Amino acid sequence: MSKYLNFSLVALLVGLLLLATHSMAKVLPEERSDIMFHEYEGDGVTINGPSVLVRKNYMDSISINANYYVDNVTSASIDVLSYGSPYVEERTEQTVGVDLLRDKTIFSLSYTNSTESDYDAETYSVGFSHDFFGDLTTVSAKFGVGDDVVRATGQAAFEESLSRKNIQFSISQILTKKLIMGLNLESIDEDGYLSNPYRKSSILMASDFGVIDRQGTWEEENYPETRSSDAASLKLKYYLPYRAALRAEYRYYSDSWDIEGSNFELGYTHPIEALNVTLDVRYRIYQQSSAYFFVDFLDASNGEEVPTYHGRDKELAEYSTTTVGVGVKWEFLSSRWFVLDKASISLSYDHISFEYDNYRSANEVGYELGQEPLFEFDAGVTRVFLTALY
């Protein structure tokens, strides 16, 4: 069990102890509904669909939330172009959750179900959130378990399983009249089938006589059957001398596959009160090292031993991403009307650049095997959503 998982279990115990010794007032999350259209487009992949999130409170002590989310996927990614066929599929996800307020503590339960033609996932979680020190500190912990079923289109007999456990521990801390901090720790343990039944490794075997391009090198991937990861993030948000906010976030990640990643984000939020508009700009950089079994191309034609574990998923490569994003929210209803307290419409766009350091464009021709240009691509992420508070 990872060190953060241990630490978070301790925090969970401490939290439960304190629930019995302190009781003051806390409030439920605000009642609201959001209807969003989202779209991701990059590397020949378009994923879009709706997301509807509704939260309703009852008797000042119970809050129920539900989310319906759809991904419509059209894919002709570099992997698909290298050794597969473009495809279309749909993923739907439903989440229901309930928050129970008792004095200064919120207990939370949630259930998520995700369904694709070749992948089903179920996740259950339980957690609590409690305010301390005159409401300067909020401590939260959450524990989740999940079971996935992996299938493969066109292979009726193929069915594998995967189980997941994750634990999160969070502290939100008021530091000064204008500065708040958020600290998050999360450990995730996975056990089961972690490969992708469609993705291939590129290995030139001794039997591949006469092969001069990648088409003759594709072999079934083989991943380890366990993965444990720890992540820690620190967020700060500061209210500037005029009405605007600056935020910074850093996260560090490491796992048992030797991937180490980190990201840093800066953001600025600026309301224009005369127009009831709020602007947001952000800049994010991310980098990671590759998994110990990642191989873009392996020449084993002279009889070298092929490692037990090998894979060519580009999310396991060494690479970096840079994101620049802008958002605008227009609050077109700012005073009570009928059952609504407020209503707004928001538009956000993020441009993400991916640059790989050891993953190559395998579908490029005219290059020596394993010497193709390094892969890179740009993606755009769009969100448009309508929010109603009541």
Partner 1 sequence: MKCTLKLFVLLATILVTGCSITPWVKPYERGYLADPIMSFEPDAVSSNYMHHVYQAREGSRGAEGGGSGGGCGCN
The distance of closest approach from Cβ of residue 305 to partner 1 in the complex, given in angstroms and rounded to an integer, is 26
Q: Applying CB under 8 A, does 9 fall inside the site for partner 1? A: yes
The span from the CA of 49 to the CA of 71, in Å, is 5
Which of these, 178, 259, 273, 175, lies nearest to 223 by C-alpha position? 259
Which residue number, 105 or 229, has a Cβ lying nearer to partner 1?
Answer: 229
Query: What is the enclosing helix (H) or strand (E) of 8?
Result: helix 3-19
Candidates 236-244, 297-305, 355-363, 364-372: pick the segment binding partner 1 (CB under 8 A): 236-244
Considering the complex, what minimum distance in angstroms separates the CB of residue 18 from partner 1? 6
Instruction: Tell which positions 64-103 bind partner 1, by CB under 8 A.
Output: 67, 71, 73, 89, 91, 93, 95
Q: Which stretch binds partner 1 (CB under 8 A): 206-214, 285-293, 297-305, 358-366?
A: 285-293
Least separation in angstroms between residue 244's CB and partner 1 is 7
C-alpha–C-alpha distance, residues 321 and 20, integer Å: 46
- How do beta strands 200-205 and 298-300 pair? parallel
* Position among 82, 112, 202, 361 found at the interface with partner 1 (CB under 8 A): 112
CA nearest to 207, candidates 83, 303, 305, 295 = 303
Radius of gyration of the chain (CA): 24
Tell me which residues in 180-219 interact with partner 1 (CB under 8 A).
180, 182, 184-188, 196-198
Rounded to a whole number, what is the largest CA-CA distance in the chain? 77
Kindly identify the residues of this chain, within the stretch 163-182, that bind partner 1 according to CB under 8 A: 164, 166, 168, 170, 172, 174, 176-178, 180, 182
How far does Cα 161 stand from its chain's mean position?
21
Task: Closer to partner 1 by CB, 26 or 235: give it.
Answer: 235
Burial class, 357, CB count within 10 angstroms (exposed 0-12 / middle 13-18 / buried 19+): middle
Binding of partner 1 at residue 372 (CB under 8 A)? no
List the interface residues with partner 1, window 35-54 (CB under 8 A): 36, 38, 40, 47, 51, 53
Residue with tokens 């037990």: 308
Per-residue x/- track, 308-347, partner 1 (CB under 8 A): -------xx----x------------------------x-
Q: 57, 82, 125, 217: which one contacts partner 1 (CB under 8 A)?
A: 125
Answer yes or no: are the C-beta atoms of 298 and 310 closer than 8 Å.
Answer: yes
Rounded to a whole number of angstroms, the minimum distance from the CB of residue 179 to partner 1 is: 9
Out of 99, 148, 296, 372, which residue is the one contacting partner 1 (CB under 8 A)? 148
For partner 1, the binding residue among 19, 26, 28, 34 (CB under 8 A) is 34
Establish if 369 lies at the interface with partner 1 (CB under 8 A): no
Would you mind telling me the total number of residues written for the chain in this entry?
390
231, 298, 362, 369: residue in contact with partner 1 (rule CB under 8 A): 231
Q: Which residue among 44, 216, 224, 271 contacts partner 1 (CB under 8 A)?
A: 271
Looking at beta carbons only, is 268 or 367 nearer to partner 1? 268
Q: In sequence order, what are the residues at sequence separation of 6 or more whose Cβ sits closer than 8 angstroms to the Cβ of residue 281?
A: 267, 268, 325, 326, 327
Q: Which of 17, 266, 281, 365 binds partner 1 (CB under 8 A)?
A: 17
Output the smallest distance, CB 318 to partner 1, in A.
10
The number of CA neighbours under 13 Å toward the Cβ of 93 is: 18
145 binds partner 1 (CB under 8 A): no
Q: Which helix (H) or strand (E) holds 229?
A: strand 226-239
Considering only CA atoms, which of 379, 382, 376 is closest in space to residue 78?
Answer: 376
Residue 158, interface with partner 1 (CB under 8 A)? no
- Amino acid 232 reads A
Select from 125-133, 214-222, 298-306, 358-366 the region that touches partner 1 (CB under 8 A).
125-133
Question: Should residue 356 be labelled a site residue for partner 1 when binding is judged by CB under 8 A?
Answer: no
- Classify the C-alpha dihedral 144-18-105-16 as positive or negative: positive
Give dist(CA 350, CA 330) in Å, integer.
18
Are residues 55 and 28 in contact, defined by beta-carbon separation less than 8 angstroms?
no
Q: Tell me which stretch binds partner 1 (CB under 8 A): 6-14, 205-213, 215-223, 356-364.
A: 6-14
